[in-house]
Copies of this chain bind each other. A is one copy, B any other.
Amino acid sequence: MLNNKMTELLKIKYPIIQAPMAGGVTTSKLVAEVSNSGGLGMIGAGYMTPVQIREQIREIRQLTSNPFGINLFVPNEFKVTDNEIKSANQLLNPIHQQLNLQPKDDFEIPIFNNVLEKFNEQIKVIIEEKVPICTFTFGIPSREVIAELKQSNIILVGTATTVREAVENEKTGMDIVVVQGSEAGGHRGSFNDGDQESLVGLMSLIPQVVDNVNIPVVAAGGIMDGRGLMASICLGAMGVQMGTAFLTCVESGAHHVHKEAILNANEVQTVLTRSFSGKWARGIKNKFILEMQKHEALLPDFPVQNTLTHDIRKTSSAQNNQDFMSLWSGQSPRLAKNQTVDSLIKNIVVEVEKINFNI
């Protein structure tokens, strides 16, 4: 079914990539199950240490002999002053109080050079462990990093939210590009075009990208089933990357409160916010988003704001309290189901075969 250049490059049966959701969602079981079912399982390694990455790669290899991939965050330069941190913390203080949290002053504020160093160590592990596929979000790594990975025969996949970003991905040597529509949940992958301007729906984005690049295009954003897969193929994509659809699966490591929030949400309940991390991301509207909304333009950049909200998110999760958790979701929560990965993928295959074109 639907074999093409993309499935050949990735050596997978179905053109379905499980989105690399960072923050504990992509358990080894989830990743391995996706790959065992004929899709491509992905480790969302953005926040992981090199040691954690190595451990998880080895764990997954125990569970599957099929290809899987890993995703990293390309570091973006950022600067932050003590004053900015102070004011951001002042904005967060009422929330600390609601959660009975002591406002901390002693956490380690990220420094760009350290972030870059960590990224290079992550790359090193991926090469050493011979992960067959490496994907990137938030930008394109340096020529040196790309050359190094290519020398190790690792297939490289970039992320784009606009035609210009997709063309740049192709130019720098990416083998495949994932185009993220405005429907997508979680962080926006944009790195070149404005935050608002780069919110292009997939119906518009896919064909315009396909007309301007020669590498395979994978569609991401709001795709949940065989209908979304076939629509993406019609628009010129060679496959899909699905996040929310896998997040609510049995094997995903997402918090049960997060899963339930998606299963109970409708299409108008997700919004874009930068209050959790300093980067724009789509999630289900909750108390945190609403309380921070009027300040969000002023908050420090990623990953600084992410560090500042760490305790809040952690405590809220520990209390099973959805009010202050980042409930990332795409715009199709009505289509989410709590099912096994195997069912999700089997259902897609059945649906695709059933679509009656009546041409």
Q: Are B207 and A225 in contact (CB under 8 A)?
A: yes
Number of copies: 2
The answer, among B201, B235, B332, for a CB contact under 8 Å with A208, is B332
Residue interface bits A209-244, CB-to-B below 8 A is 1, else 0? 001100000010111110110111111100000000
Q: Which of A24-32, A148-156, A190-198 contacts B (4 or more CB under 8 A)?
A: A190-198
> What is the total number of residues of chain A having a CB less than 8 Å from a CB of chain B?
57
Q: In whole Å, how far is A63's beta carbon from the nearest beta carbon of chain B?
A: 30
Query: With an 8 A cutoff between CB atoms, is A359 at the interface?
Result: yes
The answer, among B2, B183, B200, B207, for a CB contact under 8 Å with A359, is B2
A207 contacts which chain B residues (CB < 8 A)?
Answer: 224-225, 227-228, 332, 335
Query: With an 8 A cutoff between CB atoms, is A141 at the interface?
Result: no
Q: Are A266 and B231 in contact (CB under 8 A)?
A: no
Query: With an 8 A cutoff between CB atoms, is A1 at the interface?
Result: yes
Query: With an 8 A cutoff between CB atoms, is A4 at the interface?
Result: yes
Residue interface bits A334-359, CB-to-B below 8 A is 1, else 0? 11000000000000000011010111
In the complex, what residue of chain B is closest to A269 when comparing beta carbons? B197
Q: Are B358 and A2 in contact (CB under 8 A)?
A: yes
Cα A267 to Cα B198 with chains together (Å): 8
Q: Are A200 and B268 in contact (CB under 8 A)?
A: yes
Q: In whole Å, how far is A244's beta carbon from the nearest beta carbon of chain B?
A: 10
Query: With an 8 A cutoff between CB atoms, is A320 at the interface?
Result: no
A271 contacts which chain B residues (CB < 8 A)?
Answer: 196-197
Query: With an 8 A cutoff between CB atoms, is A159 at the interface?
Result: no
In the complex, what residue of chain B is closest to A183 when comparing beta carbons? B201
Q: Are A268 and B194 in contact (CB under 8 A)?
A: yes
Cα A204 to Cα B164 with chains together (Å): 24
Query: With an 8 A cutoff between CB atoms, is A70 at the interface?
Result: no
With A4-B358, A163-B267, A353-B359 as given contacts, are A183 and B203 in contact (CB-CB < 8 Å)? yes
Query: With an 8 A cutoff between CB atoms, is A60 at the interface?
Result: no
A267 contacts which chain B residues (CB < 8 A)?
Answer: 162-163, 200, 204-205, 208
Cα A225 to Cα B203 with chains together (Å): 11
Q: State which residues 305-334 of A face B: CB under 8 Å.
A: 330-332, 334
In the complex, what residue of chain B is closest to A225 when comparing beta carbons? B207
* A–B Cβ pairs within 8 angstroms, 29 of them: A4-B358, A162-B267, A163-B266, A183-B200, A193-B268, A194-B268, A200-B267, A200-B268, A200-B331, A201-B203, A201-B221, A202-B202, A202-B203, A203-B223, A204-B222, A204-B267, A204-B330, A204-B331, A205-B267, A207-B225, A207-B332, A207-B335, A208-B332, A211-B334, A227-B236, A231-B231, A231-B234, A233-B357, A234-B234
